[in-house]
Structure 1
Amino acid sequence: MTHLVRRKRYIITGQVQGVGFRPFVYRIALENKVTGTVSNTSDGVFIEVQGDEEALAGFAFDLVDKLPPLAEVTSKTEDELPAVDDETEFTILASEGKKGNRVLISADVATCDDCLRDMADPENRRYEYPFTNCTNCGPRYTITKSIPYDRAKTSMSCFPLCPDCKSEYEDPLDRRFHAQPNACDVCGPYVWLTKPDGTEQCRGTEAIVQTAEALANGHIAAVKGLGGFHLACMATGDQGQQAIETLRTRKNRWGKPLAVMAKDIETARAIADLTEEEEKLLVTKERPIVLCKQRSDAPIAKALNPGTQYIGVMLPYTPLHHILFKYFAQKISELPVLVMTSGNMSSEPIALGNREALKRLHVLADVFLLHNRDILVRVDDSVVRVQKGTGKPQFFRRARGFTPRPVFMENKAPSVLGVGPELKNTLCYTRDNEAFVSQHIGDMQNLEVYSFYEEIAEFLPQILEIEVEAVVHDLHPDYMTTRFARDYGQERNIPVLGLQHHAAHIYSVLAENKFSGTALGLALDGTGYGEDGTIWGGELLCVNNQSLKHKRLGRLAHIPLPGGETAIHEPWRIAQGILWNAGINQSEKEWTWNKQFSQQSKFLPQLLERNINTPITSSCGRLFDAVSAMLGICHTVTYEGEAAILLEDAQDLSITEGYNCPLNTSGELLELDSINLFQQCYEDWQRGVAIGIIARKFHLGLIHGCAQLVAHAAKDTDINTIALSGGVMQSFTVGTELPKALAELGFTVIQHTQLPPNDGCISLGQAAYGRQWLLNQS
């Protein structure tokens, strides 16, 4: 009986390079007894297979059913080809590249269990080697120069493979086949310990041991990691308290909570009340920082997260981390938990290279644990939390482990650049139906961050091999990103478009959810430049992301910002401004801020009366700040969102009824009377009502008021889909209970799931707007 031989070609795109895809194809080809070839190209992975019907069917099934753990297929095409005579084997061809690649760049991945076993085995040649990896784990994005992803195009190109590593690298049946960072202590990178002046102390395992010793003795270490440097110190006991206070003093970072790394999941359970979903997030291959509720009996230093019951926890994600914790745990009697915060001065980007770190961090760290594998792209740790009710993750910062994973759009369109906002900046490039949002870049308020921004603005289009056809920026004329966009467009002679900040928020969440058409969008955040020249921040918009028309339907009541930018850092000014507008001045001696700011407080009415440097805002974030300050919880902020975070933590959760938050429907815009809401807080405070009760009733009153604002607009417009965005949606209370309240009213609620609701999502909204604008033009 003869078997008809056929030949098929598959073209696979997605995350299929640097993830063991070719050896996977090779193995299933051998198992199914087919011949042919597989190769990496700029268009994806090309596979040609030849065999009888049964063999080809088995191969096709395995190609879908047995994917490698890190592979993600976004498209697969299948064609019939003429059979090739006398073909007897299946081979892996050399990679080829050409302009216009269709390949997704893999994000960095935590060390896999197989590699951890290698590192723990004294008989294994990778015993305690801090750069152990395979095709299922290790660095990707942070060491990549260009695509296709091959060793010569990574920062490992300067480390020639030794015979043993080369044998693994060339064996299709080895899990290190074409693992581009593959190395060992014979041929690969190494670590060493230095003083702050750069004087080398020791190398190899001894350097890690001495770093653990320094940490156990209360010193601060700068540790070179995957996407940059961490500053590490003890997080427990009296030594931890002292070390954290020293770190805060040196870093000038006083109130903002610091993240910790726990040795393992058991240690994490000892410091946080972990839910099942939180545990799952902690052990994912992305290894983000997960915001969890701290255990009441956790032996964590109080200086770690003052004023909040939540703690940011992550687990080790590099071989170096695992070895460091092994020796650190041996040298202490407390739980093996270390502060692991970004290696930078406040407001600067994370340090990248050794010389840069020694120059910038020598005043912060007592010792430096360095290595000689270059980091080509700086990437901070990602920060997430589990949304109550849904169990789904919500991003606070999207970076390591997730970048540059794309957000998939509904249709294909020309490439666009969204330059992002001024704070919590990201930028976004699109390619066909993919939107590549950069890692968190930071606040664009100094030249160091702007230089980082320019690095990524140059790197992403190069690695994506795209030509941008339009650029979109915020309406604020003085943003660095606005100037960048105008220069960028002028240099390339392409359209430069402006999009209002809160509209961009809504375009972003619609794009994430592949929604097309008209929706109501509620954008609640700190500040954004409004189309009427005022400062917006509590906005109800009607947005059509096809016609690109949006209209402001409602807002929160205007409140004053006496002192302008200063009021954002000193929210007691906002509280006094609201009270002054309400005619409440007679109780100034009782105001909670009077002792600290009595002199400034006396002069504030003059600013208000004469309207000097007192802009008005509809900001929801500033309203939180004002209530927090009025109650004496937070008069000045040391980091963004501090006043609101502390106000939320003060809530008495036994309270189920909130204040009334009236809706004014008589004006051109619907107006939520947040001034009335504030006054109710003030009146209860004057009566001596407990702060926890007031804080809770404020949150519930605002949530109910926002729901009624939306309901009124929905009735007028006959729109049932509500999109929620803005930094206020990161509040545990608002982010959970507002969507629930809207759903109970019968609305379809869409939220962010792939990006943070804060300004980190703005660049996607801008890019979505720009690509639709180009489509509409054509």
Structure 2
Amino acid sequence: MRIKYKINGIVQGVGFRPTVYKIATSLNLTGYVLNSSDGVIIEIEGENQDKFIDELKKNLPPLAKIDSIEKEIFPKAGYKTFEIKESKNSDKTTSISPDICVCDDCLKEMYDKNNKRYLFPFINCTNCGPRYTIIENIPYDRKNTSMKKFKMCDSCYREYTNPLERRYHAEPTCCYECGPSLNVKWRMENGKWKNIDFNKEIEKIEFIANKIKDGKIVAIKGLGGFHLVCDATNENAVSELRSRKKRPSKPFAIMFKNIESIKEYCEINENDEKLILSKEKPIVIVKKKRELPGIAPNIGKYGVFLPYTPVHFLLFDFLDFPIVATSANISNDPIIRDSNELIQKLGNVVDFILDNNRDIVNACDDSVIQGVKDTFITMRLSRGYAPKSFALKKNIKPNILAVGANQKNTITLAFKDKMILSPHIGDLGTIDSIEYFERTIETFRRLYDFKEDIIICDKHPYYESTKWAKKQNKEVIEIQHHFSHALSGLFEFDLKEALVFAWDGTGLGDDGAIWGGEVFVVNRSGYERVHHFKYFKLIGGEKAVKNPANMAVALLNDDLAKNYSNHKIALALKNGNFPLTSSVGRIFDIAAFLSGMIEKNEYEGYSGMLIEKYYNPLIKDFIDLEIDREIDFYPLIEFVARNRGKFELVSSVFLNTLTNLIKKISKNYNLPVLLTGGVFQNTTLLSLIDNVYFNQTIPVNDGGISVGQAAYGIWNL
């Protein structure tokens, strides 16, 4: 008999076919393997057929992931050999591999003086390198990537066509003779840009390294876009970057040469180290040990990561200090992927540019994660992890496009037996970010030959994603923001029902108020709002997010309010016509202001990071809040105001009180407990609570909203 398999998942461009070839030939099987647009097709004949799938599962390539295997049995065809056939097109459902850090085998070759790719800055193989960022279409063949303009030399082609080679059908395969090249640009005194010529690629990297040593600000092209780079130990350089980029205090990510140098500056545990060293090489939020002035002012954590491209590794051959490596973009805009755009938008920020002529088709920012206990939460899902595919238990109809929220936007497609979450798109607050949102939708439509039947969006009428959805002449379903948060958790952990604490900064509620301190009983089709934080006025509207002073003082009685310089204006505004909110995110801001930690919120999440910084685990005190349908948190706010200046006490009691509240409410319901929403990016809060679910591989913040929206469609349409 002949067995035909159709295997779906991340099975293209990851060395899957050569692995199949090696296993089939070792078992003396005949037949073929080929890539198609809806997966990998395998036909086998021979006595050892029954051993094939077990051997394949045991020997999967590092980047491969099987979502489904379909098996059919046919009469024998009489194959004489086993071969790898050319790709063929059909329905596009196969998953695209994310971009991955350069592998150890490639690094070994890169530092081998006898290797043709010695010090080659674009070295890669089947097990590493660019994927999503260079792909224009699937199947994942070179002609469908930005590598198509580089014709392979004979030597590379032999590797590319040999099933026993590590570079078999590794589409970015190249070398000095046939691959991309670096180029260096210099901003002259007259403001014009000039290319600088060098004889060797490594000389270009050494030149840029020397400019970083000199305190200059450079832009370096990575896998998914440019980084702005300077010496992280040079306070003047960091200050100059902040001044030029108009980014007064938001933390910068830092790239270190190796894990040992991270340990010099940071306190990391075993879980942190595992995340930092993982093949995805995300930015990992860890605790500070040594202060690097200007990098992350006032807060207690750094975002750190390791080199992940050959260029990064070669750069650190000339540097013995960590570097700032922050996304090159204008605030709230997507990461810049083209040097012409970089010069146009940030030409006055950088002194030199290290560019290359391999085009970035799809921009992709760095992922950001944070360790919690022995797992992690995802704060930004992007390079290394996205696009992220999920196998569904059955085929679905109709095709669903979920367009997410307004902040930390992502989109999600659901079709056939698959759900696909896009990389981080960002806040839809600028023209460029909205264009990027629309471009990402078009990219995913093209890659998967996808046409949505239904669009699912947030209920907020002013979200740009919602406005876009309503212009498409398609059926549109609107889902309440916090219900979407809850559904993302139910989907991730395959729960049918849960008690959900959905705490964040903002989301339009069913009653027109701004929700954000919700406790729901949720199932896959609906929810009951069983508790919420008592409404308070968002004095100043959206401006209260950055300037919580009047909102905070208006909550106090006169005796406490008079201790604050703005008490008269807060009193005058107390009865004003402002939106009502239950937002726990805003309660964090109120506590940070009333305690004296902040005068204003420098950036999103700042107050939460300060409260986390000052938390003392030895302080066990808390305020035992009454549990009614409306949770009156005023006793906690009064405690904060009465203990102004006592940062450790205030922070510890504040977080202990929220922890106690979650535990107390949870005891009243015989249900799994799920924590979701941006407030639960606070890992101290998460670590104080046991036996609960919280989003991990799906972003815990608004980056997970599109998954919850799509899940609603999968379960209910």
1:266-313 Cα deviation digits (max 9, x unpaired): 222222222111111112111101111122xx3x52210111221111
Query: Does 2:628 align with 1:679?
Result: no
Q: How does 1:711-726 map to 2 (within 5 A)?
A: 711-712=667-668, 714=669, 719-726=670-677
How many residues get paired?
A: 710
Q: Which letter does structure 2 place at the counterpart of 1:176?
A: R
Aligned residues of 2:400 and 2:413 also touching (Cα < 8 A): yes
**C-alpha displacement of 1:138:** 0.4
The answer for the alignment partner of 2:368 in structure 1 is: 383
The answer for the alignment partner of 1:168 in structure 2 is: 159
C-alpha distance in structure 2 between counterparts of 1:201 and 1:585, whole Å: 67
C-alpha distance in structure 1 between counterparts of 2:6 and 2:714, whole Å: 27
Q: What secondary structure, in the 3-state scheme, does the structure 1 residue paired with 2:589 have?
A: helix
Q: Which letter does structure 2 place at the counterpart of 1:96?
A: K
Aligned residues of 1:97 and 1:148 also touching (Cα < 8 A): yes
Q: What secondary structure, in the 3-state scheme, does the structure 1 residue paired with 2:164 have?
A: coil
Aligned residues of 1:290 and 1:314 also touching (Cα < 8 A): yes
1:56-104 Cα deviation digits (max 9, x unpaired): 344443222211111111112333332234x432211111112x22311
The answer for the alignment partner of 2:697 in structure 1 is: 754
Q: Which letter does structure 2 place at the counterpart of 1:682?
A: A
1:620-673 Cα deviation digits (max 9, x unpaired): 01111001001110111121010121122122321012122222x3xxxx1111
Tell me the TM-score normalised to structure 2 length. 0.96
The answer for the alignment partner of 2:38 in structure 1 is: 43
Of residues 608, 613, 619, the one that matches 1:649 is 613
Aligned residues of 1:417 and 1:767 also touching (Cα < 8 A): yes
**C-alpha displacement of 1:34:** 2.1
Alpha carbons of structure 1 residues 586 and 339: separation in structure 2 relative to 1, 3 Å: closer
C-alpha distance in structure 2 between counterparts of 1:438 and 1:363, whole Å: 32
The answer for the alignment partner of 1:351 in structure 2 is: 336
Query: Does 2:345 align with 1:360?
Result: yes
C-alpha distance in structure 1 between counterparts of 2:408 and 2:552, whole Å: 26
The answer for the alignment partner of 2:62 in structure 1 is: 69
Of residues 271, 275, 286, the one that matches 1:281 is 275
Q: How does 1:288-303 map to 2 (within 5 A)?
A: 288-295=282-289, 298=290, 300-303=291-294
Of residues 486, 505, 509, the one that matches 1:530 is 509
Of residues 527, 539, 546, the one that matches 1:562 is 539
Q: What secondary structure, in the 3-state scheme, does the structure 2 residue paired with 1:578 have?
A: coil
**C-alpha displacement of 1:586:** 6.5
Q: What secondary structure, in the 3-state scheme, does the structure 2 residue paired with 1:25 have?
A: helix
Of residues 185, 200, 204, the one that matches 1:194 is 185
Q: Which letter does structure 2 place at the counterpart of 1:69?
A: P
**C-alpha displacement of 1:732:** 1.7
Of residues 605, 629, 632, the one that matches 2:571 is 605
Q: Which letter does structure 2 place at the counterpart of 1:499?
A: I
C-alpha distance in structure 2 between counterparts of 1:533 and 1:84, whole Å: 66
Q: How does 1:613-632 map to 2 (within 5 A)?
A: 614-632=578-596
1:227-255 Cα deviation digits (max 9, x unpaired): 0010111111xxx2111111111111122
**C-alpha displacement of 1:561:** 1.8
Tell me the TM-score normalised to structure 1 length. 0.89
In percent, how many aligned pairs have the same letter? 37
Of residues 496, 503, 508, the one that matches 2:488 is 508
Aligned residues of 2:595 and 2:643 also touching (Cα < 8 A): no
Higher helix proportion (structure 1 or 2): 1
The answer for the alignment partner of 1:403 in structure 2 is: 386
Aligned residues of 1:126 and 1:184 also touching (Cα < 8 A): yes
Query: Does 2:133 align with 1:142?
Result: yes
C-alpha distance in structure 2 between counterparts of 1:206 and 1:198, whole Å: 19
Of residues 11, 14, 18, the one that matches 1:16 is 11
The answer for the alignment partner of 2:652 in structure 1 is: 696
The answer for the alignment partner of 2:684 in structure 1 is: 733
Q: Which letter does structure 2 place at the counterpart of 1:515?
A: L
C-alpha distance in structure 1 between counterparts of 2:475 and 2:512, whole Å: 24
**C-alpha displacement of 1:411:** 4.1
C-alpha distance in structure 2 between counterparts of 1:208 and 1:478, whole Å: 46
Moved more, 157-166 or 457-466: 457-466
Aligned residues of 2:68 and 2:391 also touching (Cα < 8 A): no
Q: Which letter does structure 2 place at the counterpart of 1:281?
A: L
Q: Which letter does structure 1 place at the counterpart of 2:672?
A: T
Q: What secondary structure, in the 3-state scheme, does the structure 2 residue paired with 1:677 have?
A: helix
Aligned residues of 1:21 and 1:71 also touching (Cα < 8 A): yes
Aligned residues of 1:119 and 1:132 also touching (Cα < 8 A): yes
Moved more, 247-256 or 14-23: 247-256
Q: Which letter does structure 2 place at the counterpart of 1:209?
A: E
C-alpha distance in structure 2 between counterparts of 1:160 and 1:626, whole Å: 60
Q: Which letter does structure 2 place at the counterpart of 1:655?
A: I
C-alpha distance in structure 2 between counterparts of 1:550 and 1:438, whole Å: 27
Query: Does 2:303 align with 1:312?
Result: yes
1:510-558 Cα deviation digits (max 9, x unpaired): 1111222x3222101111111111111101112221xx22221110112
Q: What secondary structure, in the 3-state scheme, does the structure 2 residue paired with 1:456 have?
A: helix
The answer for the alignment partner of 1:3 in structure 2 is: none
C-alpha distance in structure 1 between counterparts of 2:613 and 2:394, whole Å: 42
**C-alpha displacement of 1:192:** 0.9
Query: Does 2:445 align with 1:480?
Result: no
Q: Which letter does structure 2 place at the counterpart of 1:486?
A: K
C-alpha distance in structure 1 between counterparts of 2:408 and 2:266, whole Å: 27
Of residues 528, 533, 546, the one that matches 1:551 is 528
Q: Which letter does structure 1 place at the counterpart of 2:400?
A: V
**C-alpha displacement of 1:585:** 5.3
> Which segments of 5 or more consecutive residues in structure 1 lack a partner in the other structure?
1-5, 330-335, 744-748
C-alpha distance in structure 2 between counterparts of 1:535 and 1:568, whole Å: 13
**C-alpha displacement of 1:684:** 3.3
Of residues 327, 334, 337, the one that matches 2:318 is 327
Q: What secondary structure, in the 3-state scheme, does the structure 2 residue paired with 1:384 have?
A: strand
Aligned residues of 2:288 and 2:302 also touching (Cα < 8 A): yes
C-alpha distance in structure 1 between counterparts of 2:559 and 2:514, whole Å: 25
C-alpha distance in structure 1 between counterparts of 2:520 and 2:54, whole Å: 48
C-alpha distance in structure 1 between counterparts of 2:274 and 2:213, whole Å: 29
The answer for the alignment partner of 2:85 in structure 1 is: 93
1:658-695 Cα deviation digits (max 9, x unpaired): 122222x3xxxx1111112111222233xx7x321122
**C-alpha displacement of 1:460:** 1.0
**C-alpha displacement of 1:422:** 1.0
Q: What secondary structure, in the 3-state scheme, does the structure 2 residue paired with 1:327 have?
A: coil
The answer for the alignment partner of 1:265 in structure 2 is: 259
C-alpha distance in structure 1 between counterparts of 2:77 and 2:484, whole Å: 54
C-alpha distance in structure 1 between counterparts of 2:204 and 2:358, whole Å: 16
**C-alpha displacement of 1:410:** 4.6
Q: CA RMSD in A?
A: 1.6
Q: What secondary structure, in the 3-state scheme, does the structure 2 residue paired with 1:536 have?
A: coil
Query: Does 2:173 align with 1:182?
Result: yes
C-alpha distance in structure 1 between counterparts of 2:395 and 2:356, whole Å: 42
Q: Which letter does structure 1 place at the counterpart of 2:269?
A: T
Q: What secondary structure, in the 3-state scheme, does the structure 1 residue paired with 2:286 have?
A: strand
Aligned residues of 1:557 and 1:674 also touching (Cα < 8 A): yes
Q: What secondary structure, in the 3-state scheme, does the structure 1 residue paired with 2:471 have?
A: helix
Alpha carbons of structure 1 residues 195 and 757: separation in structure 2 relative to 1, 3 Å: same
Q: Which letter does structure 2 place at the counterpart of 1:510?
A: L
C-alpha distance in structure 2 between counterparts of 1:264 and 1:132, whole Å: 20
Of residues 689, 700, 711, the one that matches 1:768 is 711
Aligned residues of 1:672 and 1:709 also touching (Cα < 8 A): no
The answer for the alignment partner of 1:709 in structure 2 is: 665
C-alpha distance in structure 1 between counterparts of 2:56 and 2:713, whole Å: 37
**C-alpha displacement of 1:257:** 1.2
